[in-house]
Amino acid sequence: MKYTLFLVYFLLYLTKELQIGRVRNLENQKRSYNNSKPKGNFRPNNNQNKQKQNRLEKSERPQRRRRVAVDRNAEVVVVSNTIGRFYYSNPRMATIIDLNHIGDEEYITVGDLRTILNSSRKILEGFQLLITEVVDSEYTLEDVLLFLGLDRKYEEYFSLNKKFNNSGVATAGDIKEFIINTSASAFEKVMQNIDPKLRARIIEASVALFKLKEFGDYNKMQIIESYVNDELFDDAKVTEIDNEIYI
């Protein structure tokens, strides 16, 4: 009997101790959790998050190609993008560029291109003359454009006709295709945002196409006249065009 009572009391004691142990464990876990939480008025470091996001976006952005030192004697092909005759001579150049029609081509050197840039930047930046090919296999067209600082200008020119010309090579027909085939709304947007030199080339080509009866979109004509004068195409109607002019 005594032994039985002893066992009962002993089991009650063990049960109580187990319950006390569980309570202590729960309290310890709670304290550990509270200690792991940031103290005070914690706010996430948004600057760090933004910096991390910027680094990720920068790494995903296409990197601009590195500038290559191109040999000045490397030959390139240039094409007239001028309506009518294009003529250029310079005592520092061995070659005289004399092209009778738009689309005619000549071979000159990269050194000649630098000479043209130094004496009359508008010829190359305004696309009176297009660089279309590099003869030297050691360099690409992109290498030459980067070397001359014309890569951004040509990106803008390529964008005119990227729907119809995705070759990555500028052609004398790109402006004509842009004028005729682009919707009036897209035409207006491009005219607002492009470099004034390229806009002037588009206006000149538009007038020539109008005289040749290849262009007559009223909405586009209104957009063009907003940059020059309201009678541009009326004047074009009464002026004669050289029979040898084409675009």
Task: State residue 8's pLDDT score.
Answer: 46
Summarize pLDDT for 148-206 with one digit per residue, the tens: 999 999 999 998 877 666 677 888 899 999 999 999 999 999 999 999 999 999 999 99
The Cα-based distances of 8 to 2, 18, 161 in angstroms read 10, 16, 97
pLDDT higher than threshold 70 for residue 36: no
Residue with the two structure tokens 């005119």: 160
C-alpha–C-alpha distance, residues 178 and 238, integer Å: 25
Q: Is 110 helix (H, G, I), strand (E, B) or coil?
A: helix
234 token code pair: 């009326």
Angle at 238 between CA 235 and CA 242, to 5 degrees: 105
C-alpha–C-alpha distance, residues 54 and 75, integer Å: 42
Please give the model's pTM, rounded to 2 decimal places: 0.69
Q: How many CB atoms lie within 10 A of CB 161?
A: 20
Summarize pLDDT for 40-53 with one digit per residue, the tens: 555 555 666 666 56
C-alpha–C-alpha distance, residues 11 and 125, integer Å: 98
- The number of residues making up the chain comes to 247
Averaged pLDDT for residues 211-229: 93
C-alpha–C-alpha distance, residues 159 and 176, integer Å: 13
pLDDT higher than threshold 50 for residue 70: yes
